[in-house]
């Protein structure tokens, strides 16, 4: 995995419950469900651009937590029942993760997720093209046209609301 900017594509062996795969790109027994970039589009306000690379971002999706990875948040919400995990407030109560369930989510990813990548100096250009031309049911940003967008958004919204009602996980 290079320490360069670029796009990455997540293929899955096992499809999380409820995720539609009609029209999704497949490779052998894997289905493309999500794409992302690193770094983001540089800010227009004069702040310096992120120095984040493909290596950093993909590693965080595999080993980080739901607060810093929209992919982990999405997968955790979809797999909550199957893995026996739930979104919880942690620390001061403003951050939300799957707490001790993050390890189960990482294990699921290790068994079922595969990543392809392509270095590119302006990955946001490729991302926009990929989202507009491919069926990517787990992408929310720039993907309102996808039939699963509303369902996935509501699932995540419900999980966050429930987490706000529960005590902070210790």
DSSP calls for 90-159: ETTTTEEE-GGGHHHHHHHHHHHEEEEEEE-S-HHHHHHHHHHHS--TT--TT-TTSTTHHHHHHHHHHH
In a domain, 170, yes or no: no
In a domain, 153, yes or no: yes
In a domain, 54, yes or no: yes
Domains held by the chain: number: 1
- pTM exceeds 0.75: yes
Containing domain of residue 154, as a range? 6-165
pLDDT in single tens digits along all 170 residues of the chain: 899 999 999 999 999 999 999 999 999 999 999 999 999 888 888 888 788 899 999 999 999 999 999 999 999 999 999 999 999 999 999 999 999 999 999 999 999 999 999 999 999 999 999 999 999 999 999 999 999 999 999 999 999 999 999 999 97
């Amino acid at each position: 995995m290079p320490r360069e900017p670029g796009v990455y594509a997540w293929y899955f062996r096992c499809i999380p419950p409820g995720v539609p795969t009609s029209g999704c790109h497949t490779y052998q027994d894997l289905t493309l469900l999500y794409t992302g970039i690193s770094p983001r589009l540089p800010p227009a306000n004069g702040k310096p651009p992120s120095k984040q690379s493909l290596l950093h971002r993909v590693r965080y999706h595999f080993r980080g937590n739901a607060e810093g990875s929209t992919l982990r948040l999405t997968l955790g919400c979809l797999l909550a029942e199957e893995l026996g995990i739930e979104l919880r407030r942690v620390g001061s109560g403003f951050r939300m993760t799957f707490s001790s369930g993050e390890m189960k989510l990482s294990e699921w990813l290790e068994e079922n997720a595969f990543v392809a990548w392509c270095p590119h100096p302006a990955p946001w250009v490729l991302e926009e093209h990929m989202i507009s031309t491919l069926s990517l049911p787990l992408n929310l940003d720039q993907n309102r046209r996808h039939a699963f967008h509303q369902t996935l958004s509501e699932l995540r919204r419900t999980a966050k609301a429930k987490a706000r009602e529960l005590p902070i996980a210790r």
